[in-house]
Amino acid sequence: MKRISGIFLSITLLLLVISACASDETVPRKWISHRGVDLNHTIAGENSLEAVAYARMVGFDCIETDVRTTSDGILVCMHDETINRTCLNKDGSEIQEKTRVCDLTFDELRSGYKLKADREDMRTQVPTLEEYLACCKENGLLVFIEPKLKDQTGENYLRIMEIADRIFGRDGYIITSNNFANDVIRNTLGISDVKVMTILYQTTYEAIQALGNSVMAISSTRFSKEDFAKNMEKAVADGFETESNTDNFPRMDMINKAHVDYISTDLLLPDYKGLGNLAYDLRSPSKWNKLGKHGQVGFGALFLEMTYAGEAEITLGKQTFTINDSNGIDAGNGFRTISFQILLYQEDPVAEIKAMSSGFNVKDSRLRLVEFPQSL
């Protein structure tokens, strides 16, 4: 009987170990391309079909878009209330007068204006929500849809969900808002089987809990490092999927230290997946100067992984940041490990490192320059 009990105990412990391993970061985090890869409406228009294709090209899993209505009720993808920041007149000139989406008919929006982009052939029309979601479906991207409409009746939210249901199915998309749309969907419309994402700093933790079937967005810019970590830890313990946003190293470092299911960004890109053309793979910082001979990158990315001790200043592309013993993950024996990756567009692939302490030491590093085609 003792032997049987021992065997049972061993099997139980084995199952517990397997279960623990299965829950320990085995599911990779997913990256959300915020309004698509447009890089401040240069390589493509913001919320354009081209920005969707670029997002897939560099390895994003998900994409976020915004929805407004024209004066004749057509649902289109546009973030701002006006089109001035993201659009040009059809002839390529700047729009001088304040022009609201809701004041234009769909025909006026499509025939009179184009989305901003550096190349004329990339200045395309504002897409309808249906066109945008179909493009996301074709590119295999999970879509986060943010209605920029305060609709107490929920009629427009129903229209958005009807289109998304037809293209993806009820569980193939996520509605996101500052809680207004989500609250109407849950409490006015009585819909509980559509997943929603709500932003914590714009509402309360308890309000998000009450919604159910939701992702909790915890901003890396609105909370201190300590509060960010505490909120993330609590949300994960309570069974939430979590999301956070970042466009720079300090915030990315905070996210890397937490369990974050979705990472949203405008300027960064997912962890290296072997996509694109690998132009340089440098294993030592002393060789980073090789990048200076490469010349300007049309569209590409820098991926850095480093294990170090001490303090240094690093420049990657247009960003400069400091690494020290408060950054990264503990690698043992006084060393820390960091990772960071940034998109490049029409710029030199700058990579520099400057020791800021006498004891700065690099144990291991890898810097990769990857180029992506600009043609779609």
User: pLDDT tens digits for 192-247?
Assistant: 999 999 999 999 999 999 999 999 999 999 999 999 999 999 999 999 999 999 99
CATH code for position 306: 2.60.120
Same domain, 154 and 176: yes
Is 14 within the bounds of a domain? no
**pLDDT at residue 101 is higher than 90:** yes
Same domain, 284 and 260: no
**Domain end (from 244, 265, 286):** 265
Asked whether the whole model's pTM tops 0.85, one would answer: yes
Q: Which domain holds residue 290?
A: 277-371
Same domain, 162 and 286: no
pLDDT in tens, 110-152: 999 999 999 999 999 999 999 999 999 999 999 999 999 999 9
Inter-CA distances, 93 with 87, 88, 127, 178, Å: 9, 6, 20, 34
**Residue 348 buriedness (CB in 10 A; 0-12 / 13-18 / 19+):** middle
The total number of structural domains that make up the chain? 2
| pLDDT at residue 9 in the model | 35
Same domain, 294 and 319: yes
**pLDDT at residue 5 is higher than 90:** no
Same domain, 221 and 349: no
Is 270 within the bounds of a domain? no
Q: What number is the average pLDDT over the span 332-360?
A: 97
Same domain, 199 and 310: no
Amino acid residing at 131: E
pLDDT, the chain, mean: 93
Query: 203: which 2 tokens?
Result: 């509402």
Is 235 within the bounds of a domain? yes
**Domain end (from 223, 242, 265):** 265
Percent of the chain residues topping a pLDDT of 90: 92
pLDDT in tens, 255-275: 999 999 999 999 999 999 999
pLDDT in tens, 62-88: 999 999 999 999 999 999 999 999 999
Spatial neighbors of 185 by CB under 8 A, at least 6 apart, are 154, 157, 161, 175, 191, 194, 196
Same domain, 333 and 209: no
| pLDDT at residue 63 in the model | 98
CATH code for position 45: 3.20.20.190
* pLDDT tier, 178 (very low <50, low <70, confident <90, very high otherwise): confident
Is 101 within the bounds of a domain? yes
| pLDDT at residue 90 in the model | 97
| pLDDT at residue 14 in the model | 36
Same domain, 261 and 323: no
Same domain, 308 and 164: no
Same domain, 321 and 354: yes
| pLDDT at residue 27 in the model | 54
Is 24 within the bounds of a domain? no
